[in-house]
Amino acid sequence: MKLRQQTSIEEIPSEKVAPIQRRLKLRSYRSENITSAIERFKAGEFSSIRKAAKECGVAYQTLRDRIAKGDSLNLLTKREVIVRVSKIAQLCAAKVPGASHANITRTLSQMWWLLFTKRHPELHIGEVSPIDAGRATVEPNAVQDYFQLLRKRLTDLGLDQKPENIWNVDESGFTMHENNQLYVVERSAKHNYVVPSASRDHYTVVEFVNADGQKLAPFTIFKGGLPHTAYHLMGPADAAYGAQLGIKLLN
């Protein structure tokens, strides 16, 4: 029994062509062809979308979707993509990375993002941790100047040899809204941070510790008023709670 030898791609039945070959064939047209087909169809040059697709050499399904849903987002030039990648890196360095879902009317497709990350493997979507705005702007010179000033102040007050009289009052802010949003960040960063919005409800915990290792009970400050009566059940027995400024606790 002899088998007929198939020597060209045209002789292979369409159902046996590899998916990638069919996909490339369907997408061989330029974006200008789609735009031209839409304009000519809306101008009444064709009686049906199918005829417009055949005449302009574009996929019928794609043309139909574009006419029904409107034109897609404008394609970015290579220069525009480079500028956006640089902007993402700057936002990450400033601890304000861009959200993966921006507040725009029409979003980019999943395929666009996959191709974008393929061209820029240094970026990916990941989780971030909140960080205080002041801490995000700290740099080595400012920290060094602070400790030099602190050392001089302790010497002037005669406290450099009295650790029991050197107290540190620190406050930590926590949001009442869990942040489940993902951000576009640099893949090389071990930890990613974001400065939380100041418009959301927060509560503050004030801690008191001295240089001798002694501590006072923490003080939790809620915004506006105290929450449910069970808010203190899991806290330390001697902890204080309120809705006023922490300076009143010191008084």
* 77-105 per-position pLDDT tens digit: 667 777 777 777 766 665 555 554 454 45
- Taking the model in full, what pTM does it have? 0.41
* CA count, 13 A, side-chain hemisphere, 64: 8
The string of pLDDT tens digits covering residues 11-37 is 444 444 444 444 434 455 667 788 888
Q: 186 pairs with which residues across the strands? A: 123
Answer for the pair 203, 221: CB distance below 8 angstroms, yes or no: yes
* Domains of the chain, residue spans: 9-69, 74-251
Summarize pLDDT for 145-156 with one digit per residue, the tens.
888 999 999 999
Distance CA(46)–CA(73), nearest Å, equals 25
Do the strands 240-242 and 215-221 form a parallel or antiparallel pair, or are they unpaired?
parallel
